[in-house]
Structure 1
Amino acid sequence: MSSDSPSKKQCRVAVLISGSGTNLQALIDAAARDDADFTLSAVISNKPEAYGLTRATEAGIPAAVVDHRDFPNRDTFDRALIEEIDRHNPDLVVLAGFMRILTPEFVRHYSGRLLNIHPSLLPKYQGLHTHQRALEAGDSEHGVTVHFVTEELDGGPAIVQAVVPIEAGDTAEQLAKRVQVQEHVIYPLAVSWFARGRLRMVEDRSELDGELLPRCGKQLAAAD
């Protein structure tokens, strides 16, 4: 029986990036597995120099640039970005280090099918410099959250979190590296849940397998 059955890889995923694309690479690797249930239909960057575009090209994924510097404001940029994304007909849009604040129009257009990953245990430490803020607060644990995107910055319904212990003497850089390892585990996991029809957004909550998840999402201990 053929392993490339047409029933596989039905969920089309567009990935938005701004930089090197390490989470993109984790998704590329996951999509390349024989048992993958999603395919990457496009990688789009707001920066033409982003290394993630090279990763996409090498993996045979259509890559495009919509440079925010070519537009007079966020509204016109986001409309152009929507147009480019929709050309690839994705079922899901994934933000993977996409360093732009999105307009309400953009978020509403993809409501319920727009995911982001944030390096903290949301709702803690929305915004930037999360690792340093966790250390300065004297926290015993830190981590990363995958969530649906809503109009509130880093405030959409949490889907899954990986909890990373903070070790004595940790620097922000050391902590960031350990958190990033977990990013590469839970982002493909959340995308796979969505691709299989197991995950959806219900009002202000995430639902997995027909059950509402806790406000913090499904919590996982850090995987080695």
Structure 2
Amino acid sequence: MNVPEHDAGPHRPQDGRPRGLSDLTHAGAYVVDDRGRIVEVAPRTEALLRRPAADLLGADAHDLLHRGPRGETLPRSRCAMRRPLITGGTSQGEREWLARGDGSLLPASWLVTPCLLADGRTGALVLFHDADEPGAQVPEPEHGTSMSELDRLALLAETTTTLTSSLDVDETLRQLVRLVVPLLADWVVVDLLTEHGGVNRAAVVHHEDGVLVHHEDLEGPMPAVPE
């Protein structure tokens, strides 16, 4: 797995748009800091909430967006979407209400998961889509654990954080393997580019009877790759 230097971080705070989320087709996303203020916004968020990014950045997400089913302001203690910011865990829900810029309400299926901000603080990534939009859910895979689009995006965010939070390659690989096996597949193979342009097969692992089995005999230098 090769991560180019210019894509080494999951966020781009200069323009308020997180890397890796700009191509979402159904889900909106924004990042809040440890005070609950919006610090980054994905483009799809603007369309779903009918608000420009400039109106979202810097605002308290709860005060600006979180509403009851009749549009009433929610006490912070009753807000399910705010609770993960306090507990630090990952939570999701099928139907909460977000205030749009035109005064209407968006029925949102959502997931909130912790993430690291560019300045090293812990914030949270909020992923959501219109619960009433046809086709908003990704079809279930034929095998393995069922994952919605929000589940996949949360995994993407956690994987990106793992890849960028440590300079120790071996530890990063261990964490990466634990994330994707067996959640996404029964096997994982990780190839790394060497300093001299070669390829090293750094990890071959599969899941069997609840245990991760490492195949060191299949790891090591690979044949040269043509330019």
Scaled to the shorter chain, the TM-score interval is under 0.3
Give the helix-richer structure, 1 or 2: 1
TM-score (normalizing by structure 2): 0.25
Task: Provide the TM-score with structure 1 as the length reference.
Answer: 0.25
Higher relative contact order, chain-length normalized (CA < 8 Å, sep 6+): 1
